[in-house]
Amino acid sequence: MMDTLRTTIDNSTFEDKVTDFEKVLIKFKIELKLFETLQSGHKIMKDSTTNILYSEPPGNFQWIKRWWYGEDKERTFKYLDVIFTDFMKYLDSILKYMRENNYYPRVIRLNAQICDYINLIIPGLCSLKYTYPEYKEIHCKVASIVVTLIDFKKETFKNSSKPKKIVRTYSNEI
């Protein structure tokens, strides 16, 4: 009876943890939505009321609007640093959890969603290199972020292809 109760508690805790990870992923998808469609020449700005990043397309008034709202390449660098540092912490916690619970269907689905989303945002992230061709700090930051995202995908693939060790105990019954 105690083993059944413990299994039920463990499963509910597992479901709650995966649900929490899914909720956080939704939050990051909202914050990183900009990178799904970001194109070369578009510059990043932050909405002061919602704190959501958006892009300002190139044009005659782009520099005026960015000047008016106090936006510049240093702030863009800071936005990248803050949001992707948080996203990397989230990915690290997912990796840690996956190492222990990799073969549950919800964990596999969550991993697939994250990897698909990473594929979706990398091109937009790389477009910043063309938007700021002379700003080496952004080039380095973007390269660092992309390498870390690719490492996450490799690590999750490596973890999902490893069979989980199963320890069996046998009783000494005759």
pLDDT, mean of residues 47-74: 88
Residue 160 is predicted with a pLDDT of 61
Q: Where exactly are the structural domains of the chain?
A: 25-37+73-157
Flag whether pLDDT at 27 surpasses 50: yes
* Residue 94 one-letter amino acid: I
168: left (phi over 0), alpha (psi -120 to 50) or beta: beta
pLDDT of residue 2: 36
Q: Residue 12: is its pLDDT beyond 90?
A: no
What pLDDT does residue 84 have?
Answer: 96
Identify the burial level of 141 via C-beta atoms within 10 angstroms of its C-beta, where 0-12 means exposed, 13-18 middle and 19 or more buried: buried
What percentage of the chain carries pLDDT values higher than 90? Answer: 52
SS3 content of the chain, % helix, strand, coil (to 5): 70, 5, 25
Distance (Å, rounded) from C-alpha 100 to C-alpha 76?
A: 37
Q: Once rounded to an integer, what is the mean pLDDT over residues 116-131?
A: 94
Q: What is the DSSP letter of 54?
A: E
- How far apart, in Å, are the Cα atoms of 10 and each of 2, 4, 13, 64, 131? 12, 10, 5, 56, 49
Read off the pTM: 0.79
Distance in angstroms (rounded) separating the CA atoms of residues 31 and 100: 28
Give the residue, 157 or 152, on which the prediction is more confident: 152
Give me 27's structure tokens.
């939050």
Average pLDDT value over all residues in the chain: 83
> Is the pLDDT score of 92 beyond 90?
yes
* 174 DSSP assignment: -
23, two tokens:
């909720």
